[in-house]
Amino acid sequence: MLNALACRGPDSAGVALYGSPQPGRMVVRVTLGEHPDARIPACIHAAVESFGASDFSEVGAYLRFTIAEQSPGAKLNGLIKAIETVSPEVEVVSVGRALEVVKQVGSPANLEATFSVSAFVGSHALGHTRLSTESKVDLSHSQPFWGHGYPDLAIVHNGHITNYHQLRRRYEQRGVRFYTENDSEVVAIYLAECLEQGSGLLGAFEAMMKELDGSFSCLAATASEMGFIKDPFALKPLVFTETDAFVAVATEEVAIRAALPGNYAVSEPQARAARVWTRPA
Amino acid sequence: MTQLNAADLSTRELNSRLRDLVARDDAEIHVENPGARHNLAVAMLKSGKIRFRGSVGYYCGGLADGISIEIDGSAGWGLAESMLGGTFRVHGNAGNGAAAAIRGGTVVIEGDAAARLGVSMKGGTVIVAGDCGYMAGFMGQKGVLVVCGNAGDAFADSLYATECYVGGEIKSLGTDAVASEVTDEEAAALESLLAANLAPELRALKPQARRFRKVVAGRKLWNFDKREWKIWREAL
């Protein structure tokens, strides 16, 4: 699907994949930066020992490992801090029972070449290919964004959040750390906060409609839910289809048709539309 | 009938083949595997018949004059944009900005239309069997816009003189748009327009379609008067 949309923006590409959870474990993905010091992985090993870390592996610029499951909804700030104090280049890209975020600068084809994303087996996934408009092109600024500190939440966003600076100030006053200058990051932080308060994804979307201004076609997922929201003016494209076998949402229908053969209807949701699908237990 | 496989052709090749075939008075062309690609059959300026055996992407049939296009799937943004004449029939749904700024011809959408349907129409006829979204009919100047299902927010905002009819609920009217009853004469004209363009089973899907309302301009925005600044402050 992403290859079909790469012409919209090949600056960077990424996916948030939801695999099968390993009982009692959480997957942590850490980017080591552009020119990692060979000693960094060992330092991270030491830093996360107390979290019961194991299964270390390194692909591309990423270190992946698992830790003992943290209590549901728990803030993972201690873990993130322990890892990120190792080096300013190091960043925790995702933590979750099922979630694994993989992103890098370059086109979706490059992403596939480096990480063999198509070989991943899982229940659902979000993908993004980026045309940078207002913030810089690097791994941190690319999407999907993890809901930092909230396990398993990932978002992708097309649009422009016009009250971004106001929201950012509000969160920063509360001590929330922003990793980028990208306005889409605030969507992840906002939804993470709503989910933490127990609203569920649809409730979080409803709150987002009231509090976030500007244009947005946005997808979000957790281990159990996946959904989209469209802004009040329907400024940004988004289409979806729903069959007995799958749900597919994309910026353009061309992406859905390229990936999923068959006879099904596709429609563009109306302004203010929000839909959430729950994964069967 | 000629068959073309879009999967084997670039968009430019496909459009140029379509233009050649239409120029040679080929009665009907079927395009297989359109794959929801953009800019298909743009600027077709002769009469002829093209059927897309699947969905099309953005701007399908834009700037058309005289062509008849049938789409078996759905259409992306800007279907038939700025058309001068011709007929379009979409069996599925249409994306944002369908039939925007058309000057003539007929666009029939058998499913739903998304936002900004028929904005700035300067003529022609648009019929939607299902619902339409936000800002449909915005600044319509001429022509006829018929929505059999429900209309979204800000319907017919800043309207001039497009004849707008809605069969279902109107979520909200746009600035200066006024809903009124249809006269017997208008109801009869509407009935024959729908009978000519929609199959009976499509019309039966929306039982409320028989109780159409007409939306007209309140004409408060047609002429600027600085004493009416309050209306303008709201409108702009």
pLDDT tens for A237-264 read: 999 999 999 999 999 999 999 999 999 9
In this structure, which long-range contacts are made by residues A130-135, counting pairs with CB atoms below 8 Å and at least 24 apart in sequence?
A130/A9, A130/A11, A130/A12, A130/A13, A130/A14, A131/A8, A131/A9, A131/A10, A131/A11, A132/A9, A132/A11, A132/A12, A133/A160, A134/A160, A134/A181, A134/A182, A134/A183, A135/A180, A135/A181, A135/A182, A135/A183
Going by pLDDT thresholds of 50, 70 and 90, the confidence category of residue B127 is very high
Question: Using CA atoms, how far apart are residues A2 and B94, in angstroms rounded to an integer?
Answer: 22
Least CB-CB distance to A234: which of B54, B55, B134?
A: B134
- Please report the pLDDT score of residue B74 as a whole number: 98
Going by pLDDT thresholds of 50, 70 and 90, the confidence category of residue B224 is confident
Contact between B111 and A265 using a beta-carbon 8 Å cutoff: yes
Least CB-CB distance to B36: which of A232, A234, A257?
A: A257
Are the beta carbons of A105 and A142 closer than 8 angstroms? yes
Nearest residue on chain B to A258, alpha-carbon basis: B35
Going by pLDDT thresholds of 50, 70 and 90, the confidence category of residue B155 is very high
- Please report the pLDDT score of residue B67 as a whole number: 97
- Selection from B137, B157, B142, B132 nearest residue B104 by Cα: B142
- Please report the pLDDT score of residue A133 as a whole number: 87
Contact between B58 and A252 using a beta-carbon 8 Å cutoff: yes
Nearest residue on chain A to B130, alpha-carbon basis: A267
Instruction: Identify each DSSP E strand in chain B by its residue range.
Output: 2-5, 29-32, 48-53, 65-71, 85-90, 106-109, 122-128, 142-147, 163-166, 177-181, 213-217
What's the DSSP call for residue A176?
P
DSSP 3-state of B89: strand
- Please report the pLDDT score of residue B29 as a whole number: 97
Does residue A18 surpass a pLDDT of 60? yes
Interface test with B, best of A209, A242, A254 (most B CBs within 10 A): A254
Nearest residue on chain B to A267, alpha-carbon basis: B93
Among A28-42, B10-24, B101-115, name the one with the lowest average pLDDT: A28-42
Does residue A266 surpass a pLDDT of 90? yes
pTM of structure:
0.94
Does residue A72 surpass a pLDDT of 70? no
Nearest residue on chain B to A259, alpha-carbon basis: B35
Question: Using CA atoms, how far apart are residues B155 and B136, in angstroms rounded to an integer?
Answer: 5
Q: Is some CB atom of chain B closer than 8 A to the CB atom of A246?
A: no
- Please report the pLDDT score of residue B198 as a whole number: 94
Contact between A267 and B74 using a beta-carbon 8 Å cutoff: yes
- Please report the pLDDT score of residue A134 as a whole number: 84
For residue B186 the two structure tokens come to 């208008």
- Please report the pLDDT score of residue B206 as a whole number: 64
CB proximity under 8 Å: A 223-242 to B: 232-234, 237, 239
- Please report the pLDDT score of residue B116 as a whole number: 98
> What would the pLDDT profile of A169-181 be if each residue is shown by its tens digit?
999 999 999 999 9
- Please report the pLDDT score of residue A280 as a whole number: 80
Task: Over range A25-36, report the average pLDDT.
Answer: 91
Contact between A253 and B116 using a beta-carbon 8 Å cutoff: no
Contact between A252 and B76 using a beta-carbon 8 Å cutoff: yes
Nearest residue on chain A to B72, alpha-carbon basis: A265
Q: Tell the CATH superfamily of the B2-235 domain.
A: Glutamate synthase, alpha subunit, C-terminal domain (2.160.20.60)
Task: Over range A185-209, report the average pLDDT.
Answer: 96
- Please report the pLDDT score of residue B43 as a whole number: 95
Does residue A74 surpass a pLDDT of 70? no
Going by pLDDT thresholds of 50, 70 and 90, the confidence category of residue B207 is low
Nearest residue on chain B to A234, alpha-carbon basis: B115
Chain B CB contacts of A258 below 8 Å? 35
Contact between A253 and B153 using a beta-carbon 8 Å cutoff: no
> What would the pLDDT profile of A141-194 be if each residue is shown by its tens digit?
999 999 999 999 999 999 999 999 999 999 999 999 999 999 999 999 999 999
Does residue B177 surpass a pLDDT of 80? yes
Question: Using CA atoms, how far apart are residues A120 and A15, in angstroms rounded to an integer?
Answer: 11
Going by pLDDT thresholds of 50, 70 and 90, the confidence category of residue A60 is confident
- Please report the pLDDT score of residue B232 as a whole number: 81
Listed by start position, the domains of chain B span 2-235
Task: Over range B202-210, report the average pLDDT.
Answer: 65
Distance from CA of A266 to the nearest CA of B (A): 7
Q: Is some CB atom of chain B closer than 8 A to the CB atom of A25?
A: no
Work out how many CB contacts closer than 8 A connect A with B: 74
> What would the pLDDT profile of B50-79 be if each residue is shown by its tens digit?
999 999 999 999 999 999 999 999 999 999
Contact between A268 and B58 using a beta-carbon 8 Å cutoff: no
Chain B CB contacts of A252 below 8 Å? 36, 38, 57-58, 76
ipTM: 0.93
User: In the predicted model, what is the mean pLDDT of chain B?
Assistant: 94
Contact between B54 and A254 using a beta-carbon 8 Å cutoff: no
CA atoms within 13 Å, Cβ hemisphere of A73: 8
- Please report the pLDDT score of residue A192 as a whole number: 95
Distance from CA of A2 to the nearest CA of B (A): 15
Widest Cα–Cα separation across chain A = 53
- Please report the pLDDT score of residue A230 as a whole number: 98
- Please report the pLDDT score of residue A105 as a whole number: 93
Does residue A73 surpass a pLDDT of 60? no
Chain B CB contacts of A209 below 8 Å? none
- Please report the pLDDT score of residue B56 as a whole number: 98
Task: Over range B79-100, report the average pLDDT.
Answer: 98
Does residue B40 surpass a pLDDT of 90? yes
B191 or B233, which is more confident: B191
Contact between B93 and A266 using a beta-carbon 8 Å cutoff: yes
For residue A144 the two structure tokens come to 């999907």
Chain A CB contacts of B37 below 8 Å? 254
Going by pLDDT thresholds of 50, 70 and 90, the confidence category of residue A97 is very high
Distance from CA of B138 to the nearest CA of A (A): 13
Q: Is some CB atom of chain B closer than 8 A to the CB atom of A256?
A: yes
Nearest residue on chain B to A260, alpha-carbon basis: B35
B219 or A76, which is more confident: B219
Using a pLDDT cut of 70, give the percent of chain B over it: 97
